[in-house]
Amino acid sequence: MTDNTPKLPKDERVAVYICHCGGNISDAVKVEELEELARRIPGVSVVRRNTFMCSDPGQQLIIDDLKAGNADRVVVCACAPHLHETTFRGAVARGGLNPYMYEHANIREQVSWVHHGPGATAKAAKLVQAAVAKAGNLRALEPIRMEARRHATVVGGGIAGMKAALDLARRGIDVTLVEKSPFLGGNLARLDRLFPTEDKAADLLASLYAQVTASRRITVLTCAEVVAHSGYVGHFDLTVRRAAPTTTEDLELIARFEKAGSPLGTFVPFVGFAPVLPATAEETIAVATGAVVLAVGFRHYVPRQGEYGYGDNPEVVTLTQLIEALAGEQPGGQLMVNGRAIRTMALIRCVGSRHIPGVDEEDENGNLNQHCSRVCCTASLQAEREIKQRFPETVIYDFYRDIRAYGRGHEEYYCGASRDGVLFIRFEPTGRPVVARSPAGSDNPLTVTVADKLLADRELEVPVDLVVLANGMVPGDTAKLVELTKIPTGADRFLLEVHPKLRPVEVKEAGILLAGTCQAPMDTTEACAAAAAAAVKAAAVLSRGYVELDPFVARIDPELCKGTGACIEECPQEGCMSLVDGKATVNPALCTGCGMCVAVCPEGAIEVNGWTLRQYEAMVDAIVAAPVEA
């Protein structure tokens, strides 16, 4: 019988490490049997198992074997490589081996999560065989080193943007802060006090604003917008257009700022800081930068006309409008909203959040806000407590589906509201409160009708003077930015990070980072933490003066290349490939290693480092070969 078992290049020894993944793998794959099968693969010198290979003890197994000279190739059989590829490369490097002499077999997502029974172990064995075959054909690679400009651009002038800019400046990085509106402060400027510390938002912003504008490393551009983007990590070229504001919202804010009569650089409540009055003439500014931090924030949901009576009744307001009213003067110890005395009020939660397909109405673009806005539960409780403490005679009804006071100290707001006498009424999503005008002669202008789940669906009619809609957070206007940068968005339409735990502020394109509520609803503390993380990531890239990129890019053999240009036409990355002296060349900083050029080259002159045709062939041969028997 012909032996068709794939052979490794002579004298090359492969160490195989199998992860149980805490049962995620070992509950479906017989890892003990897989270990014995792996030992019989030609060229394998070491096989080990661990409950969590990504843990420190798991990594140490790899390091010890490499330092002992037990292997010169590494195969890790675990979860999806994009989760821990960097982790294992680091362990290989600490063991004294080139970090690219490592291959990964995904036996979780591709095996244990989709297969059960004997077939799971058999498939896992095939994937291990293929990974070992490829590992035997790996060659040492070196990362691509590119010069990096010691400059960052932060887009967005809210608290996350200012925090990121200041942290970068403190690390010696020059920063251009680009804000679309005439004011700095963002949505935080529209608040009064912050939970759970009860600090004034104005005080926090004033301190941050003073530090940002005093820094010689930070250039602030208000009324500015990024309109063009090109380049790569360490070497981005942006075009920023600056012009006088024209939107209704900006003009209204300017009018409020001017009415306050405050000098430039001072805070106007519910407006923000104006560092420089906008110029009347339009100008275009070229910004050469090394990294971009997107901190473009969010928008408050604006209820539709007629939604819970909003727009039809002046007594229906949003939570943000209530917060502004509470911050103003309240004469005579009576809660006043829009000039009306409020004795009884209702607050309805989850307005603009947690939409249900088939139940809620889509917006004009066909979107539903199915996400939870997270912070509006505590914000509602905070407002209710303030009202109860300042105007204890006010009766408050809280209509809720669920209450999620998730942060440290947030639960106390719920307990405090309960002690203060706030009345909680629970409703089902399909039986939401109905707001209508009260009959003529009623003491209250509005009546809220709902089936109370806490009272066995008993229908309640609650007469009130005011209805407050706890409006949630929705993505900002990022359509142009997404088109420019090709950043993906999630199902909730917020900007999408690579991984919420392992790479929480990074996107697929290296050098572009996310900060704050542009990626998800957050409170102020969380937004500042994300901004600090983005600043650290950007500074780590830029402070050395160069960046190192993975070498998995197209490589052209000039001896074989005939300069047909087919690769240039096929390449999806603009500017990545070009003809120089009749030969195709690759800009490695722009190449994504997609391999499309490999497929169309008539001369076979192109390979992708780390995924050569020889390596593919070795893997295919291993998969179709007879299985290794225990």
What's the topology of domain 307-473? FAD/NAD(P)-binding domain (3.50.50)
* Surface-to-core class of residue 360, CB atoms within 10 Å of its CB (0-12 exposed, 13-18 middle, 19+ buried): middle
Lowest mean pLDDT across 51-65, 241-255, 523-537: 241-255
The closest alpha carbon to 326, from 471, 466, 520, belongs to 466
Please tell me the distance from the alpha carbon of residue 332 to that of residue 155, in angstroms, as a whole number.
44
User: Span 461-490, mean pLDDT?
Assistant: 94
Q: What confidence tens digit (pLDDT) does each residue in 537-579 have?
A: 999 999 999 998 899 999 999 999 999 999 999 999 888 999 9
CATH code for 553-608?
A: 3.30.70.20
**Token pair 């998730």 is at which residue?**
406
**Residue 278 has what pLDDT?**
58
For the record, the structure tokens of 80 come out as 């999806």
Positions of CATH 3.50.50.60 in the chain: 151-297+476-547, 307-473
Alpha-helical segments (H) within 95-219: 118-135, 159-170, 201-214
Tell me: domain 14-142, CATH 3.40.50, correct? yes
Task: Tell me the sheet residues that pair with 47.
Answer: 16
The full length of the chain comes to 630
Residue 404 has pLDDT above 70, yes or no: yes
**Residue 365 has what pLDDT?**
87
Positions of CATH 3.30.70.20 in the chain: 553-608
Q: Could you tell me the CA-to-CA distances from 419 to 151, 389, 413, 415 in Å, in that order?
A: 52, 11, 10, 6
Positions of CATH 3.40.50 in the chain: 14-142
Q: What DSSP string describes 526-541? A: HHHHHHHHHHHHHHHH
Residue 6 has pLDDT above 80, yes or no: no
Q: What confidence tens digit (pLDDT) does each residue in 218-249 have?
A: 999 999 999 999 999 999 999 999 998 888 88
Task: Choose between 253 and 347: higher pLDDT.
Answer: 347
**Which of the four pLDDT bands, split at 50, 70 and 90, describes residue 486?**
confident
Task: Choose between 9 and 620: higher pLDDT.
Answer: 620
* Surface-to-core class of residue 402, CB atoms within 10 Å of its CB (0-12 exposed, 13-18 middle, 19+ buried): exposed
Q: Which superfamily is assigned to 151-297+476-547 in CATH? A: FAD/NAD(P)-binding domain (3.50.50.60)
Residue 442 has pLDDT above 80, yes or no: yes
Please tell me the distance from the alpha carbon of residue 547 to that of residue 149, in angstroms, as a whole number.
10
> Taking all residues of the chain, what is their mean pLDDT, rounded to a whole number?
93
